[in-house]
Amino acid sequence: MSPVDELSGAAAPIWMWTRPHEVESAALDQLRTIADLPYVHHHVAVMPDVHLGKGATVGSVIALRDAVSPAAVGVDIGCGMAAVRTSLTAADLPDDLGPLRAAVEAAIPVGYRGHAEISRRVRGYDDLWAGFGDLHPSVSGRSGGLDRVMAQMGSLGSGNHFVELCLDTTDAVWLMLHSGSRNVGKTLAEAHIAAAKKLPHNAGLPDRDLAVFLAGTPEMAAYRRDLDWAQTYARYNRDTMLGLYVEALRTQLPRLRVPTPPADGPHAGDAAFAAVNCHHNYVAEEHHYGADVLVTRKGAISARAGEYGIIPGSMGTRSYIVRGLGNPESFHSASHGAGRRMSRTRARKEFTTDDLAAQTIGVECRKDPGVLDEIPAAYKDIEAVIAYQDDLVDVAAELHAVLCVKG
């Protein structure tokens, strides 16, 4: 139980579950800058899907003492994955999955869109909406803001967010999706990142994007309040989308049944294995190496012993349901996906729609220029990423997509 390698040149140790030569130099420099923060506790853990991010490196796990950096969470607060194993098998699916994809696209708004009507399901999240008025004024002060935020509940977004229909190695049908806190999380994050940069104690930082809030201050309390709210919104968003997904599929697959998702925390048994909902951009209060700390996972999942998580690949490749091994050296963490190996701009320059079609053979999905930057070749080899973290997780199920909806 030890990291694959260690990156030198920083105040705190940087333990990596990959090889430094496989990571772009800008990301390595960014990791060193993070590890130089005076609040870092013990070390920085780096997952095998690591790549350059805005503010903080994607695939980083950072434990801070009495401080938190909003940029180390990112602007999609609470972004994560959900997956459920259904009662169906491959034999229950029609030969032509096009109508199924059309039904899902009609039920779940993508891109910047939200729902035209706010459903009774969404209005029922009373515990969440009751706290809306206490959020940062950039959100709570907008005229009609609550209605817009409620309308985006149950919507996908764009970029690498997706909805997939998958088969595992036993031909069981799984539903899987990736999304977060939508525009409300982005707005809250940007407001707090900007506020942190103005605080006097951050004036000497080598990268002001890593500005922190300190424990016991009003600024920290305000950020933690908004952060917790947005993380809850993100989880409810995934739950809502799963409900819409199931309803859309049942119009053509009436025998479809799914389990009830379990509550948070480490789980055991078949029910937990078959229904998982996990963040991979978030903050949690945890205890590591003798101290109570705030752990920021940006592009990483919690992988406590027995805890189930999801590590997706890309369009046309494998994804994995995993069970955590509770490795203390990774702060009980694992990767959040395959991780990009090239920027979106570079992918659009290097590949064509013919390449996209060739790399997504057998997957019912868009194959047009609008999703070219999501081509599988733009991502790292998911099998290699999984192999690098065999001391962090066990593979519980291996999935491959047969249908994919992108924003």
**What are the extents of the domains in the chain?**
5-341+379-406
What's residue 270's pLDDT? 59
**Measured CA angle at 242 (ends 237, 244), to 5 deg:** 95
With contact defined as beta carbons under 8 Å apart, do 183 and 170 qualify? no
Q: Residue 72, class by beta-carbon neighbours within 10 Å (0-12 exposed, 13-18 middle, 19+ buried)?
A: buried
Q: Is 42 a catalytic residue?
A: no
| 163 marked ligand binding residue | yes
What's residue 233's pLDDT? 98
Residue 301's nearest CA partner among 271, 269, 264 is 264
Read off the pLDDT of residues 84-112 as tens digits, 9 standing for 90 and up: 999 999 999 999 999 999 999 999 999 99
| 339 marked ligand binding residue | yes
- pTM for the full model? 0.95
What's residue 260's pLDDT? 66
Between 217 and 268, whose confidence is greater?
A: 217
Right CATH for 5-341+379-406 from 3.90.1860.10, 3.10.270.10, 3.40.309.10, 3.30.470.20: 3.90.1860.10
What's residue 273's pLDDT? 77
Catalytic residue among 115, 136, 192, 336: 336
- Average pLDDT on 378-403 reads 97
| 213 marked ligand binding residue | no
What's residue 266's pLDDT? 41
Instruction: Report DSSP state, residue 379.
Output: B
Instruction: Report DSSP state, residue 373.
Output: G
What's residue 249's pLDDT? 97
- Average pLDDT on 337-362 reads 95
Indicate whether 332 pLDDT > 80.
yes
**Measured CA angle at 269 (ends 263, 272), to 5 deg:** 35
- Average pLDDT on 300-327 reads 96
Indicate whether 172 pLDDT > 90.
yes
C-alpha to C-alpha distance for 314 and 359, rounded to whole angstroms: 10
| 262 marked ligand binding residue | no
